[in-house]
Structure 1
Amino acid sequence: MQKEESGVVSGNLFDIHILSRLFQFVKPYKNLFYTQVALTLTGAVLASVKPYLVKVAIDDKIASHDLNGLYVMIGLMVVVLVAQAFMQYFDTYLAGKLGQTIIRDIRIRLFKHLLKFRLGFFDKTPIGRLVTRNISDIETLSNFTSDGLAGILGDFLQLIFIFGFMLYIDWRLTLICLCPLPILLFSTYVFKERIKHSFNEVRIAVSNLNTFVQEHITGMSIVQIFNSEQREYAKFKKINIEHRDSNLKSVNAYSVYFPIAEFIGSLGLVLLIWFGSTLVLGETSSFGTLVSFIMYISMFFRPIRMIADRFNTLQLSVVSSDRILKLLDDHTPIQSTGEKPLPEIKGDVQFNNVFFSYIEGQTVLKDINFHVPQGGSIAFVGSTGAGKSSIINLLNRFYDIEKGHILIDGTDIRDYNLHELRLQIGLVLQDVFLFSGSIRNNITLYNPDITDEKIWEAIRMVGAERFIERLPGGLDYEVMERGSTLSSGQRQIISFIRVMVYDPKILILDEATSSIDSETEELIQEATAKIMLGRTSIIIAHRLSTIQHVDTIFVLEKGEIVESGSHEVLLGQQGLYSQLSALQYAAAKE
């Protein structure tokens, strides 16, 4: 399992570059965002007014026995409370709506971006890490919009208003109340630093856990075949303990900080009651003032605690944002550099001096040259790792070449629109992947242009009518994940049908019959002979008996074409092809 990268960003809260880029996702909904900010600010003002109204009611109305005035003040307080409740409702709703809408946009954009990546990216990147980016990291971003900047702004404004009201009412009580404030600010800073590091560790631990679980669920058969359950369990236990310990660090920081913050707030309240009661008894302050300050002090310290929590939420969002933005900035996607229209190709394929490597400096294909005329057929044979599959990967532009040219109908494939190019190349792989869903959806891949009539036409061409009709529900038969309810031969037949509904001009068969039974192989061989008629065909096979009918056979060795010719010509050369043929004949005879 590949570990999550350790060099993560520290989560600098005011990383202007990251924040400005995040606001690009908010920009389409700026009216909604500004409305939420306005509601937050209004709610902060209303919250600050309540204690002042209580002071006025006690000192001016109750003390003077002004019953009518008291009713007016009570009515005014009710109005403020109702208005504040409505503000909180709409603020919470709009914040949630904005957050979820932006999450939807980012997740769609990120997944669309991943769909265009080169296969080499997925070869090197654990799937669990990508799952973390698409789900956990993006989910964290909802806090940025729903409970991040607007919430912090509201808390700061509430502090300013509360402080202003307190100074206006009695500056002496204000100074006494806020004596413990420096201690709270210092503890808040320490908490923020500790929680920042623990958040980074948590994100790494979550990504590693996702990667491990995904890999081992996918490869559970290998784990059980080799009796590795206990070893893998021990590894999972270790990763899970690391995940727990990372979370406990943040839990510990919270469990220390909030009791300290509560104690400091209570200490301010004790000082207020002690000093304020002295002023009230000395008749230098009023009872209403003391009551309002008791309300204000609880309100004052609460936003400070909330700001510390929101800062950490925002900081975590910045960390997640940095990872997501780096993935969006990754230039791994193969760009459709050309936009030349490709309504229908003829199928003339040519490789001219092609060089390619998956890893820089480790050449896989060296100076590959061959030509397949329209409607012609060729085959590639060679030992494992000789470069056979790399050739078809390049033709489909799953990877891009380093040097040379790949031409279709005389035009470099990089000049064609990538989507249109792949539509006209049919690829049948040895390892067939089926999605959970019906047979029909696995054939059409939800393409609405492919009708049942076209599906059955392809089924008859492959000769698979009996196989489809015997399935419960026929085309509506539900395939389990990865096609686990079907045999390898049945999955292979579906892959043939899936290719043929698109009627490709170039047909590529990559080890298409190497893992199926003899009966199914005979069926597919008959179908292959039919569907190759009029199509340019490229076959990769280990079984030399399946390619004796092609026009030209190329023998690959260490990324180079070492022999070429028809089956009879290559046998007569007494070279590598002849040796492979003799070995397979001897193995079949045994």
Structure 2
Amino acid sequence: MSHASSFRALARLLRYAAGYRRRIVAATACSIINKLFDIAPEILIGIAIDVVVNQEQSFVAGLGFVEARDQILVLGVLTFLIWGGESLFEYLYQILWRNLAQRLQSDLRQDAYQHLQRLDMGFFEGNSSGQLVSILNDDVNQLERFLDGGANSLIQVFVTVVAVGAVFVVLSPQIALLAFTPIPIIIWGAFYFQRKAGPVYAEVREKVGELAARLSNNLGGIATIKSFTAEAREAGRLRQASEAYVEANRNAIRISSAFIPVIRMAILLGFLATFILGGLKTLDGSLNVGAYGVLVFLTQRLLWPLTGLAQVIDLFERAMASTRRILDLMRVPVQNDDTGEPLPAPVRGEIRFERLGFHYPASRVGVQDISLTVPAGTTLALVGATGSGKSTLIKLLLRFYQPDRGAIYLDDRRIERLRLSDLRGNIGLVSQEVFLFEGSIRDNIAYGRPEAGVAEVEAAARLAEAWEFIERLPQGLETPVGERGVRLSGGQRQRLSLARALLKDPPVLILDEATSAVDNETEAAIQRSLRHIAHGRTLILIAHRLSTVVQADHIVVIDRGEIAEQGSHAGLLEQNGLYAAQWRVQTGMAD
């Protein structure tokens, strides 16, 4: 990775930040003016020396202030104004750069997150949540740190070189040539460092993501870790990830630390050139003593800040490595956008699968040649072994994935031509893996309709057989559920998930293994709810427990991605095939 890639990342960032152009220009202008004011006192010191030595023949005397005392007073007033101006513009550039950093990092994180939400499920299955959180959090913060101080430092180093160089050329072109000789060495060293540091910092960002992924994974599975008494083993794995991050940073530190000592020696050469040659020229009268003072002081002002260039480039490289990761994430193509035809109301809920085929890229499992019609207002049950393709059909219906071939229709309209929000807004999903958000029970039930009143939330909870346990809780609907609903039992979480889908009141409701991981009481409660839920809507049940699907209008048995059998409960028992065999096993009638 060369320095060119870092500048390409910077160019990409500037294109993204086009809307902040005025703020960037204003902040840059304040940084430049502040640095010009910062250099001015060294020039005034040289002029003051000239006044003390030459008095009526000084530079200031030529401006009309003949008396030495008047000259000193004028320099005092100028010094006050310059220091005041420097302080004012330092305040302004800090306000502007810091607010820009905050605004840009916030917008960048929000835009990246919004883009992330639009990506299909295949992307999330191929990328760990820890890596994504690292990009949205740590990488964005790394860019913010550069904008907070590094951008200003780069600008001011450039302004210092140009402004001080101009003063040197005016006072003594010969000394300017010698004093500026180290600058190409310093710049070459900076770019050399940058070229070496680029790949190292990319590795640092990668290790940060791996560490975040490890932490996220372990905290999410803390109950499993404890149940297997694997605390020591997981601590060891985390130690490995943490040490890998430390080692990556150690390599970066080794490169950045070597930069400053080399640059110091280059700076010393420039300072000695000014100090010795300028002194000799002053002694032989070819250089004004005040000008000599200006050159000595400005040499310090010019060269010593360049030692900080290593830290600035360090910040820059880290920030550009982060910028690449953020903007690369935002460049991942969106397979499903929200453009398309509106879904005409009222939605009847008829669903049709036509010769549908799909395979997951990694495992090559999926479904093939599925043709199936679900009339509006009827109940379809999908049954079959784990991995047979039942849930895949639902993911395709919700457009989590695009089919390889065939089509799906909702009310005789191909779903890929519909607005995604219209499609998903008319389908409710109750999954086996219930996810509850941090907040109250009421917040989670009303997740699909935040504007719903208490009475509507209560009605949905009653329909889902959840109201009885909610009433017993000390805070009722306002009871916090904890992260991922950890304060509730599995059955309680499942009932809240059902209530959440019912409050949405969709014309199509899908229960994907909603009773597979609950107790008998919860299953019985959900079964009672189904009698009311199915009325007036299309219901799709995916179940292992065949007792759940007995009352379904149509039952389809999926085996290895294909329809193996279909019919009513009684008809499938008469066929004496896969469904009948499974029924006998579950009811204890198997031989």
SS at the partner of 1:513?
coil
SS at the partner of 1:112?
helix
SS at the partner of 1:501?
helix
Structure 2 residue aligned with 1:552: 554
Match of 1:236 among 231, 235, 238: 238
**Separation in structure 2 between the aligned mates of residue 336 and residue 187 of structure 1, nearest angstrom:** 50
Matches within 5 A, 1:183-582: 183-359=185-361, 362-445=364-447, 447-582=449-584
Letter in 1 for 2:34: G
Residue 257 of structure 1, CA deviation: 2.0
8 Å contact kept, 1:376–1:537: yes
Q: What do residues 326-371 of structure 1 show as CA deviations (whole Å, max 9, x unaligned)?
A: 2112114422342223433111111111111121782511111111
**Paired residues, what number?**
580
Residue 433 of structure 1, CA deviation: 0.8
Establish whether residue 42 from structure 1 lines up as the match of residue 44 from structure 2: no
Letter in 2 for 1:481: E
Establish whether residue 33 from structure 1 lines up as the match of residue 24 from structure 2: yes
**Separation in structure 2 between the aligned mates of residue 414 and residue 144 of structure 1, nearest angstrom:** 43
Relative distance call for 1:176 and 1:402 in structure 2 (3 A) is closer
**Separation in structure 2 between the aligned mates of residue 257 and residue 19 of structure 1, nearest angstrom:** 23
Q: What do residues 283-325 of structure 1 show as CA deviations (whole Å, max 9, x unaligned)?
A: 4434433332232111111343344443443333333222222
Q: What do residues 199-231 of structure 1 show as CA deviations (whole Å, max 9, x unaligned)?
A: 122111111111111111112222333333333
8 Å contact kept, 1:550–1:566: yes
Structure 1 residue aligned with 2:61: none
Moved more, 20-29 or 79-88: 20-29
Relative distance call for 1:129 and 1:260 in structure 2 (3 A) is same
8 Å contact kept, 2:434–2:497: yes
**Separation in structure 2 between the aligned mates of residue 555 and residue 10 of structure 1, nearest angstrom:** 57
**Separation in structure 1 between the aligned mates of residue 261 and residue 28 of structure 2, nearest angstrom:** 30
Moved more, 78-87 or 263-272: 263-272
Match of 2:113 among 111, 115, 124: 111
Residue 38 of structure 1, CA deviation: 1.4
SS at the partner of 1:555?
strand
Residue 12 of structure 1, CA deviation: 2.5
8 Å contact kept, 1:11–1:318: no
**Separation in structure 2 between the aligned mates of residue 14 and residue 377 of structure 1, nearest angstrom:** 57
Ranges in structure 2 where 5+ consecutive residues have no aligned partner: 56-66
Establish whether residue 55 from structure 1 lines up as the match of residue 46 from structure 2: yes
Relative distance call for 1:446 and 1:368 in structure 2 (3 A) is closer
Q: What do residues 100-143 of structure 1 show as CA deviations (whole Å, max 9, x unaligned)?
A: 11111111111111111211111111111111211122223335
Relative distance call for 1:292 and 1:378 in structure 2 (3 A) is same
TM-score by length of 2: 0.92
Matches within 5 A, 1:177-188: 177-181=179-183, 183-188=185-190
Ranges in structure 1 where 5+ consecutive residues have no aligned partner: 1-8
**Separation in structure 1 between the aligned mates of residue 50 and residue 454 of structure 2, nearest angstrom:** 83
SS at the partner of 2:77?
helix
Moved more, 426-435 or 485-494: 426-435
Establish whether residue 12 from structure 1 lines up as the match of residue 28 from structure 2: no
**Separation in structure 2 between the aligned mates of residue 535 and residue 80 of structure 1, nearest angstrom:** 77
Q: What do residues 43-74 of structure 1 show as CA deviations (whole Å, max 9, x unaligned)?
A: 23223332222111111355417011111012
Q: What do residues 567-589 of structure 1 show as CA deviations (whole Å, max 9, x unaligned)?
A: 111111111111111111228x9
**Separation in structure 1 between the aligned mates of residue 551 and residue 468 of structure 2, nearest angstrom:** 27
Letter in 1 for 2:528: E
TM-score by length of 1: 0.92
SS at the partner of 1:257?
helix
**Separation in structure 1 between the aligned mates of residue 465 and residue 452 of structure 2, nearest angstrom:** 19
Residue 14 of structure 1, CA deviation: 6.0
8 Å contact kept, 2:6–2:321: no
Relative distance call for 1:256 and 1:340 in structure 2 (3 A) is same
Residue 169 of structure 1, CA deviation: 1.9
8 Å contact kept, 2:388–2:561: yes
**Separation in structure 2 between the aligned mates of residue 192 and residue 223 of structure 1, nearest angstrom:** 42
Residue 152 of structure 1, CA deviation: 2.6
Q: What do residues 535-569 of structure 1 show as CA deviations (whole Å, max 9, x unaligned)?
A: 11111111111111111111111000010111111
**Separation in structure 2 between the aligned mates of residue 227 and residue 361 of structure 1, nearest angstrom:** 32
**Separation in structure 1 between the aligned mates of residue 560 and residue 311 of structure 2, nearest angstrom:** 59
SS at the partner of 2:504?
coil
**Separation in structure 1 between the aligned mates of residue 116 and residue 536 of structure 2, nearest angstrom:** 35
8 Å contact kept, 2:210–2:241: yes
Relative distance call for 1:186 and 1:426 in structure 2 (3 A) is closer
